Amino acid sequence: MSQARAASDQDIEHAAQVLLRGGLVAFPTETVYGLGADAEDPRAVARIYAAKGRPSNHPVIVHVAPEADLDYWTRDVPAQARALIDAFWPGPLTLILKRAPHVDAAVSGGQDSVGVRCPAHPVAQRLLRVFAALKGGHGGVAGPSANRFGHVSPTRAEHVLAEFPEQVAAGMPVLQGGPAEVGIESTILDLSRLQEGVGPVLLRPGHIRPEDIARVLGRLPDAPDAAAPRASGTLKAHYAPSTPLELVDRATLEALVVGVGLPAGSRCVVIGYTPRPLEMDPALTWQPVSADPAQYAHAIYSLMRELDGRGYTKILVEAPPRTPEWDAVNDRIGRAAAAFRPA
């Protein structure tokens, strides 16, 4: 746990007032820390995009309190969405639904849909409830991950402080909430095209797995199609550290640990989930991580940030198994590695 105190009622009240005035607030969720703004204020949402360096056509997710009225934010909440909400909210599941006409297109990158999620973190819920009360009952916070666009997502408040020093110096509140419990971003499920006979469609894997969704809906979600809505965190290259990162299979790794194929003068670190080899080239450092996919997901972003600051030439990641329980992890580290592959 972070040694800093958890956000107080006064901290949350102040943050809600900042949101009301059109400012930015960083807040914890169970997935990662978010960079939030009033979802109904296009100028405030534009400040998110500017701070992150995020393309304006890349949508953000609207976070709402548990008792929020989704009919305010959407044109239609199908029965499938209600069933998933009952099963998984509050929690790490984002639903893509048709956007209500009065909700500005800034939150959806100009699309006619909107991503909505109810986070489980108690600090996030307190912030959303206080902000909704200030807004007359319908406040929502647009909140992508609190990092520069394409970089590793933050799982601790100190990651946000390091990522946005100028905004923090200018008064942006960063609400403390300890380490994120899940550690990777939410599952994103598109339900916006059910009336057209399309869906549900899994746009981004996460802690809520296709099998979990199937237990509620009676069927597995489809893979994304060419007409699927754009969604947060689904670009080919994303979640990347500054240090070059490469995925390596076990055979390649076994050669590298004895020095075969290592560039002269390199200093590399291996993130490995299998036992450390008994003999290793001195140019390599072995960084163990859990072989349990949920624990791996919880640790990987924080570990990547930590290793990024140690002056390594390259971060080598032992490729996890290609099994369903590893899909979300493979998605994130695969996009991180893609940032360093030739186009």
Annotated binding site for ATP: 54, 63, 145, 153, 204, 239
Q: Is 163 in a helix, a strand, or coil? A: helix
Which residue numbers belong to the known binding site for L-threonine? 31, 117, 186
Two tokens, residue 131: 């902000």
Give the Cα-Cα-Cα angle 231, 234, 240 (nearest 5 degrees). Answer: 135
Which residue numbers belong to the known binding site? 31, 54, 63, 117, 145, 153, 186, 204, 239
Q: Starting at the earlier edge strand, list the strands of the sheet with 314-318.
A: 245-248, 314-318, 268-272, 284-288
Q: Is 94 in a helix, a strand, or coil? A: strand
62 vs 51, 67, 103, 310, CA distance in Å?
17, 14, 10, 35
CB 73 within 8 A of CB 59: no
Question: Which of 94, 90, 158 is closest to 124 using CA atoms?
Answer: 90
Sign, Cα dihedral of 235, 116, 81, 239: positive
